Amino acid sequence: MKHTARAHSIFCAATFLLSLLGVSAAAANDPSLQTSIFSPESAPADSIKHLSFLVLGISGAIFAVVTGMILYATVRFRQRVNDDGKEPAQIYGSNPVEAAWTIVPILIVVVLALSAARVIQQIQNAPKPESALDVVVTGHQWWWEFNYPKLGIVTANELHVPVSGLQKRLPTFLQLRSADVAHSFWVPRLAGKTDVIPNRHNQLWIEPQRTGLFVGQCAEYCGTQHAKMLLRVYAHTPEDFERWVGEQKAVQAEDPQVAAGRMVFERTACINCHTLDNTIADGRFGPNLSHLMSRETLGAGALSNSPTNLRAWIKNPAQFKPGVRMPAMNLSDSDLDQLVAFLATLK
Ligand code: HEC
Ligand SMILES: [Cu+2]
């Protein structure tokens, strides 16, 4: 019994430490879901890792010295059987000792502050190359809008960017805005977290060096569904990125087979909150639904995207995100089927 209890507490402590590092059980199975700041894949995240090693090194050394001295004192000066009960020698005021424990900590703090300031400066003032991609990111309760102004693309929750090469740098510069409350944009393997604040434009840049999926989340409590305000960043080869851009810009031909579903969409309040190319829908309150099916998730990562899940979402979004800003529209089953058949064609 004792053994299992101890094994259990060791396990708990280990999971706790791992969770501090952002390594969850899911991440162990799927490396693309890893969010550790210790495995950076982009320049700003890399500088942050180096800085954190320095900070952890210095604090680790302080920890070792302090703990060592406490342990030494506890053992060396513990009460013994033949204790004479007298007070030890009382020593007051040693100038060298006072000076040492004032100056040394000041030096340590100065070193930490200056190294942090240098990294912050390097990241914030990094020159923006001509080739950089611009994206305006808007945080909403509880989803992300990604607007590529030069490309004329608006999408949600899943950011697509090219990887940067050694010959040609292709960083992505994100301008962060908020439509409502304070949020925070954080993809740990790509860059440090940056607050998204109403009436303020913050900037952040990422420069992934390899293709793949990098996950993140809103890192500032922003209301009930803050935990389901997830982020996905897909880094593509420049060719694949161009292909994605082409697909997003392509105008969808009207499919007569789903005309009924299209009618349901256009005569329902969906159009007040959502934009959809080629329809009268131009709402800005919810995600842009053009090319909806090119996304892997719905509701900012609340569920994976498939016609079945899409139907369940529209029927009652609050079952996946209680308090969500999209109401259940109480459509009849046949309307719902037609609507989903139509939305499923938005590739
Ligand atoms: C009052 C505004 C409003 C109305 C009306 C509305 N929606 Fe939404 N919708 C939203 C908001 C806000 C979200 C984002 C929810 C979230 O992720 O937290 C959303 C999300 C969605 C999503 C998921 C998109 C994504 O990429 O994650 C779909 C699909 C969708 N709505 C379809 C519809 C359809 C179809 C209708 C009409 C039957 C409709 N909505 C009506 C506001 C609305
Ligand atoms: Cu948020």
pLDDT tens digits, the chain, 347 residues: what are they?
445 555 555 554 554 455 555 544 444 567 678 888 999 999 999 999 999 999 999 999 999 999 999 999 999 988 888 888 888 888 888 899 899 999 999 999 999 999 999 999 999 999 999 999 999 999 999 999 999 999 999 999 999 999 998 788 999 999 999 999 999 999 999 999 999 999 999 999 999 999 999 999 999 999 999 999 999 999 999 999 999 999 999 988 888 899 999 999 999 999 999 999 989 999 999 999 999 999 999 999 999 999 999 999 999 999 999 999 999 999 999 999 999 999 999 98
Beta-bridge mates of residue 212? 235
Atom 40 of ligand 1, residue of closest alpha carbon: 270
Rounded CA separation 286/180 (Å): 13
- Residue 329 tokens read as 């529209």
Which pLDDT value is given to residue 10?
55
The CATH architecture that domain 256-343 belongs to is Sandwich (2.60)
Degrees to nearest 5, angle at CA 295 with 261 and 314: 40
Distance between CA atoms of residues 341 and 59, nearest Å: 58
CA 274 distance to own-chain centroid: 24
Show the tokens assigned to 346. 């938005």
- The Å distance, Cα 270 to ligand 1 centre, comes to 7
Report the chain's terminal Cα–Cα distance, integer Å: 57
Res 232: pLDDT: 96
Q: What is the pLDDT of residue 1?
A: 42
Identify whether the C-beta of residue 252 lies closer than 8 Å to the C-beta of residue 347: yes
The Å distance, Cα 321 to ligand 2 centre, comes to 13
- The pair of structure tokens assigned to 27 is 């991440």
Q: Hey, where are the domains in the chain?
A: 256-343
Q: Are 278 and 284 in contact (CB under 8 A)?
A: no
Distance 37 CA to ligand 2 centre (A): 20
Cα of 104 vs centre of ligand 2, distance in Å, is 41
Site to probe by mutation for ligand 1, drawn from 146, 314, 324, 326 as the one with most ligand atoms within 8 Å of Cβ, is: 326
Whole-number pLDDT of residue 254: 84
Residue 299 CB less than 6 A away from ligand 1 = yes
The pick from 270, 292, 330 for probing ligand 1's pocket by mutation, whose C-beta has the most ligand atoms within 8 angstroms, reads: 270
> Does any ligand 1 atom lie closer than 6 A to the CB of residue 12?
no
User: Can you give the pLDDT at residue 177?
Assistant: 97
CA 85 to chain centre: 60
